[in-house]
Amino acid sequence: MSNKPVALVTGGAGFIGSHIVDLLLEQGSEVRVLDNLTGGRLQNLEHHKANPLLTFHNLDITTVELNHPIFSDVDWLFHMAGIGDIVPSIERPLDYFHTNALGTARIAEAARNANVKRVVYAASSSCYGIAAVPTNELAPIDPQYPYALTKYIGEQTLFHWHQVYGLPVNSIRIFNAYGPRSRTSGAYGAVFGVFLRQRLAGKPLTVVGDGMQSRDFVYATDVARAFVAAAVTDKVGEIYNIGAGNETANRVLVDKLLALLGKDESSVQYVADRLGHDRRYSVDITKITKLGWKRSRSLDEALEATVNWYRDNRWWWEPLKAKK
């Protein structure tokens, strides 16, 4: 029997999930990916196709059998799968409840049946709503959209399995993640992803209002390191915020991206703020740093690495140019 840790990553072909797969394989773990490819891409795992430690299973968290062999002998289960777009959740709330809430309950029960040693859940900072900054883990819960609500219900479901059945669970509430393979729409991509998509498609970057709204941007590989830290710690039943620990104004992000991508007279378009976007987002990362986590790159270094990745991986962004 192998002494290598066995990890299962639901949603492992997605943005953050694939970065967790990268890190686990780099550390020598056996990795199983469960993904129905609704949001994920097999290309996100293409660079590991020759690695015998990785297996891919095209399965859905809402229908996977509770006794499926994929759960057997798992040390760490990283539950990343779910629907991640905010706006469609307002239009299709029941789909979000089905996947993010009921699908997570199914994963919790399968993990309990298989005696999984640790579950780490990908929660969302959107559960806080419009919170005071910097936001810590004790901030009031105030979901503004069905997406935020269902991700929070998923988190609370896993903690209920922890309370009632002893399932060892930790949760990571992700703020604004970015990096290679980043989504260019939806919850995780958010401002960064929208800007990147616009520029790669040859369109101006749309800045709302004066552009002084801020976000807390955290690099994807650092997010992956936080998830692994939450898997290997002896602590269970804990919630951790993950961000960079500082805020960056949208206008500053635009300037940094244009310095890397090129700027012309039509690079930026300012539009009126009709919805009150003058919000600040900043995360208190005190708790996650106690697990030994710290940011590995500055924003400038990480942005440059991200832009270079998109330049080198035309399969990802060429379809965006076609929509110009």
Which has the minimum average pLDDT: 52-56, 98-102, 162-166, 277-281? 277-281
Measured between alpha carbons, how far is 4 from 281 in angstroms, rounded to an integer?
39
pTM above 0.75, yes or no: yes
DSSP of 94-131: HHHIIIIIIHHHHHHHHHHHTT-SEEEEEEEGGGG-S-
Topology of the domain comprising 182-216+246-281+297-322 = UDP-galactose 4-epimerase; domain 1 (3.90.25)
Topology of the domain comprising 6-177+219-242 = Rossmann fold (3.40.50)
219 in Cβ contact with 16 (< 8 Å): no
DSSP of 206-244: EEETTS--EE-EEEHHHHHHHHHHHHHSS--SEEEEES-
Measured between alpha carbons, how far is 24 from 266 in angstroms, rounded to an integer?
42
Residue 72 has pLDDT above 60, yes or no: yes
More confident residue, 262 or 306: 306
* Residue 264 confidence (pLDDT): 65
The predicted-structure confidence for 88-142, as pLDDT tens digits, reads as follows 999 999 999 999 999 999 999 999 999 999 999 999 999 999 899 999 999 999 9
Which has the minimum average pLDDT: 84-98, 127-141, 214-228, 257-271? 257-271
The mean pLDDT of 25-49, rounded to a whole number, is: 96
The predicted-structure confidence for 51-71, as pLDDT tens digits, reads as follows 999 999 999 999 999 999 999
Residue 48 has pLDDT above 60, yes or no: yes
121 in Cβ contact with 172 (< 8 Å): yes
Is 96 a known active-site residue?
no
* Residue 323 confidence (pLDDT): 47
* Residue 319 confidence (pLDDT): 57
111 in Cβ contact with 170 (< 8 Å): no
The mean pLDDT of 17-27, rounded to a whole number, is: 98
Taking the domains of the chain in order of start, what are their residue ranges? Answer: 6-177+219-242, 182-216+246-281+297-322
Catalytic residue among 96, 121, 145, 147: 147
